[in-house]
C-alpha cells in the first residue's frame, strides 16, 4: 500500500487546493513528514492523514487557525474537550441569534403580505385585537411627523449610538403611531403623540414594554402619500357615525407598506385602526 504522497496527491484525496496545503505548511500546522534524501522531494505520510482530517473538521466548523494551532500543539483530551465546549457555546449562541433573525424576517414577510392583501381590498372592517406589546420610540407632545420625522429619526440614531447598543436597522420592525385625535378637528395635518414598534414577543429584556389596549377597532387601509391620510381618517369617522359607533380611544396607524419596500409613494399603505364602541 502506498504510504507517501506528494502535495498534489494529498490535495486531490482531501478535496483541497494545493495552495491551502502549502499555507498549512508555511504556518507549521501540517508539514510534509518525509524528505527524499536523493531528490529532496517532500512527502506526506499516510500516518499524517488523521491530523489533516482534524484540521479540515475544525476549519469547516468555524474554528480559527489560532484554535487549530493551539489544539495541535497541546493535544490531550482535556484541552480538546475545552476547545469543543467553547465552540459549542458559540454555536448555540449563534443559533439563538439566527432564530431571532428568522422570526424578524418572517414577521416582515407577513406584514408585506397583509399589506398587499389590504391594498387589494380597501374596505372598512371591524376587528377585535388583544393587547399588543409595543416599545415607544417617541411618546410626548403631539408632533407633525411629515415635518419632524427626520429630526426624530436622527435623535433615535444618536441615542442608540450613545448607548453603545448594536444598530440592527429598522427594516424588519412593524412601526405604528398613536394619533392625536384633536388634530382631526383642527386645520392642518394629522399630528401624532407617539411612535412605537410592535413587538413580536410579550416581553423583551432590553426594552421597556407597553401595550395597546385590547378591544374592537375600526380598520381601514390608507393608500397613498402620508400627506393625504387625513382624508382617510375623515372617511372612517364619517362611516362610524353613520353605522352607530363612537371613538373609544386614541386612533392607531400601522405602517404596512412604506418607503422601505416601495419607491412609489402613491402605493404606500398604512392601516388605520380606531378603537370603537357601539352606541346604544
* pLDDT tens by residue, 30-86: 999 988 888 888 999 999 999 999 999 999 999 999 999 999 999 999 999 999 999
Q: What is the pLDDT of residue 41?
A: 87
Residue 148 confidence (pLDDT) above 80: no
Q: Which band of pLDDT confidence, cut at 50, 70 and 90, is reported for residue 107?
A: confident
Can you give the pLDDT at residue 161?
66
Q: Which pLDDT score, from 0 to 100, does residue 134 have?
A: 92
Highest mean pLDDT (candidates 13-27, 133-147, 196-210): 13-27
- Cα–Cα distance for residue pair 166/115, rounded to 1 Å: 29
Q: What is the mean pLDDT of residues 144-170?
A: 67
User: What's the pLDDT score for residue 173?
Assistant: 64
CA 225, chain centre distance (Å): 26
Q: Cell match 409613494: residue?
A: 265
pTM, 2 dp = 0.75
DSSP string, the chain: ---EE-HHHHHHHHT--HHHHHHHHHHTSS---EE-TTT--EEEEGGGHHHHHHHHHHHHTT--HHHHHHHHHT-SHHHHHHHHHHHHHHHHHHHHHHHHHHHHHHHHHHHHHHHHHHHHS---EEEEE--EEEEEEEEEEEE-HHHHHHHHHHHHHHHHHHHTPPP--STT-EEEEEE-GGGGGSSS---EEEEEEE-SSS--TTS--EEEPPEEEEEEEEES-GGGHHHHHHHHHHHHHHTTEEE-S--EEEEEE-TTT-S-GGG-EEEEEEEEEE--
In tens, the pLDDT along 209-227 reads: 999 999 999 999 999 998 8
Band the pLDDT of 203: cuts 50, 70, 90. Answer: very low
Q: Answer for the pair 134, 198: CB distance below 8 angstroms, yes or no.
A: yes
Residues facing residue 50 across a β-bridge: none
Are 179 and 253 contacting, i.e. CB atoms less than 8 angstroms apart?
Answer: yes
Least reliable range by pLDDT among 69-73, 122-126, 184-188, 264-268: 184-188
More confident residue, 160 or 98: 98
Q: What is the pLDDT of residue 169?
A: 60
Residues 6+ positions from 213 with CB-CB distance below 8 Å: 131, 249, 275
Query: Looking at residue 52, what is its pLDDT?
Result: 95
Nearest residue to 270 via CA among 202, 207, 192, 186: 192
For the four alpha carbons of 145, 149, 151 and 155, in that order, the dihedral sign comes to: positive
Within 10 A of 87 (CB to CB), how many other CB atoms are there?
16
The chain-wide mean pLDDT, for the chain, equals 88
Confidence grade of residue 244 (pLDDT, cut at 50, 70, 90): very high
Of the candidates 119, 121, 123, 146, the one whose C-alpha atom is nearest the C-alpha of residue 236 is: 123
Which domains are seen in the chain, by residue range? 4-75 (1.10.1660.10), 107-278 (3.20.80.10)
Q: The C-alpha cell of 52 is what?
A: 489533516
What's the pLDDT at 168?
A: 62
What does the pLDDT read at residue 63? 94
Per-residue model confidence as pLDDT tens digits over 162-201: 666 565 665 556 889 999 988 888 888 889 999 998 887 6
- What pLDDT shows up at residue 152? 67
Q: Percent of the chain beyond pLDDT 70?
A: 89
Q: Please check whether residue 111 is in contact with residue 261, taking contact to mean a CB–CB distance below 8 angstroms.
A: no
Whether the per-residue pLDDT at 140 is higher than 60: the answer is: yes
Amino acid at each position: 500500500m502506498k504510504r507517501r504522497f506528494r502535495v498534489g496527491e494529498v490535495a486531490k484525496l482531501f478535496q483541497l487546493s494545493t495552495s491551502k496545503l502549502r499555507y498549512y505548511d508555511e504556518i507549521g500546522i501540517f508539514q510534509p513528514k518525509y524528505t527524499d534524501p536523493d531528490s529532496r522531494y517532500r512527502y506526506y505520510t499516510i500516518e499524517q492523514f488523521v491530523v489533516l482530517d482534524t484540521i479540515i473538521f475544525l476549519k469547516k466548523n468555524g474554528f480559527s487557525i489560532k484554535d487549530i494551532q493551539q489544539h495541535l500543539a497541546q493535544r490531550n483530551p482535556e484541552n480538546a474537550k475545552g476547545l469543543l465546549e467553547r465552540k459549542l457555546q458559540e454555536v448555540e449562541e449563534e443559533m439563538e441569534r439566527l432564530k431571532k433573525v428568522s422570526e424578524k424576517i418572517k414577521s416582515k414577510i407577513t406584514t408585506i403580505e397583509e399589506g398587499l392583501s389590504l391594498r387589494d381590498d380597501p374596505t372598512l372592517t371591524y376587528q377585535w385585537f388583544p393587547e399588543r406589546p409595543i416599545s415607544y420610540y417617541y411618546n410626548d407632545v403631539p408632533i407633525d411627523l411629515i415635518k419632524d420625522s427626520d429630526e426624530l429619526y436622527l435623535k433615535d440614531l444618536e441615542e442608540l449610538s450613545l448607548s453603545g447598543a448594536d444598530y440592527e436597522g429598522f427594516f424588519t420592525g412593524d412601526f405604528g403611531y398613536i394619533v392625536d385625535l384633536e388634530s382631526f378637528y383642527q386645520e392642518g395635518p394629522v399630528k401624532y403623540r407617539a411612535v412605537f414598534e410592535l413587538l413580536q414577543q410579550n416581553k423583551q429584556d432590553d426594552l421597556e414594554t407597553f401595550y395597546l389596549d385590547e378591544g374592537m377597532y375600526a380598520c381601514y387601509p390608507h393608500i397613498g402619500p402620508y400627506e393625504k391620510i387625513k382624508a382617510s381618517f375623515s372617511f372612517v369617522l364619517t362611516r362610524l357615525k353613520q353605522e352607530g359607533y363612537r371613538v373609544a380611544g386614541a386612533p392607531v396607524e400601522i405602517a404596512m407598506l412604506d418607503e422601505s419596500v416601495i419607491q412609489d409613494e402613491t402605493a404606500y399603505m398604512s392601516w388605520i385602526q380606531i378603537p370603537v364602541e357601539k352606541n346604544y
